[in-house]
Amino acid sequence: MSDLLSATDALARHLGLASDAPLLRTALTHSSYAAEHGVTSNERLEFLGDAVVDLVVTDAIIRDYPSLDQGTGSLARSKVVNEATLAEAAERLGVAHAVLLGRGEQKSQGAFRPSQLADTFEALVAAVYLDRGYDAARDFVLGELGDALRDAAATPDEVDPKSRLRQWAEARGLGAPTYRVDGEGPSHATLFAAQVFVNGVLAGTGNGRSKKAAEVAAALAAWEGRNDA
């Protein structure tokens, strides 16, 4: 418990919130813990935080990167506002050591799952927004994601494999690729296998330690094996 309190205190200081602020506790409350203890989960805050992060990054692109048009700006934003980047930011903040999880999630090391880290990051952004206002939330988001945004803005055309495959398929009237993902193994060490279909035809397969990683691997395989490669 002392480690949890220490991690929460450190996070609170970084966010500019009181360590006992109700919004902070809610932001750190996973739905599994909420169900076991009859309290409010962070899901509504996550919903709000998702919108705030998107607005902050989009606003920064418009204000600070005039060379990016709608297309390249959208690509740059997608390289910043995604599960992997938000999870990395949450990991740097020590979120995994402060989040409140139910017993099952604790046993499966759910605190370190990228999807959980990304969701909690968004909930924390919402807590800052509601407690301290938009400017504070903007400063926090850009403080944590600013480097990723600068990198994305410098190379907006270096699109991730999933986006690149989708653009290629849609340009040829084949529609957006679809993915099928299956997982094997214990929840704390699941290996995911993905298949990607283009126009209903299997185009590539890939494996990864998360659903996103497996889908990216499958998309890369499909891209490299496309007909006009």
Same domain, 178 and 67: no
Same domain, residue pair 186 and 202: yes
Q: Report if residue 229 sits inside a domain.
A: no
Given 154, 178, 212, which residue is the final one in a domain? 154
pLDDT along the chain (229 residues), means of 10: 78 94 96 95 96 97 90 80 90 93 86 90 98 98 95 76 84 92 80 93 88 82 75
pLDDT on residue 215: 87
100 and 179 together in one domain: no
What pLDDT score was predicted for residue 124?
Answer: 98
For residue 214, give the CATH number of its domain: 3.30.160.20
Catalytic residue (choose from 50, 105, 119, 144): 50
147 with 215, same domain: the answer is no
The last residue of a domain, from among 101, 127, 154: 154
Domain with residue 113: its CATH number is 1.10.1520.10
| 9, 24 contact by CB (below 8 A) | no
CA distances from 204 to 60, 99, 141, 164, 219 (A): 36, 37, 35, 14, 6
**Active-site residue, 50 included:** yes
**Judgement on whether residues 165 and 99 belong to the same structural domain of the protein:** no
Query: Could you count the other beta carbons within 10 Å of the beta carbon of residue 88?
Result: 17
Q: Which of 46, 105, 119, 122 is catalytic?
A: 122
Active site residue 147: no
- Do 126 and 97 lie in one domain? The reply is yes
Shared-domain flag, residues 73 and 118: yes
Domain count, the chain: 2
Q: Which residues of 102-131 are buried (b: 16+ CB within 10 A; e: fewer)?
A: beebeebebbbbbebbbbbbbbbbbbbbbb
Within this chain, do residues 64 and 145 fall inside the same structural domain, yes or no? yes
Q: Is the pTM of this model over 0.75?
A: no
Q: Which residue has the tokens 């992997």?
A: 84
Which among 176, 148, 128, 175 is positioned nearest to 26, based on CA atoms?
A: 128
Domain holding 15, by residue range, is 2-154
**139/213 same-domain check:** no
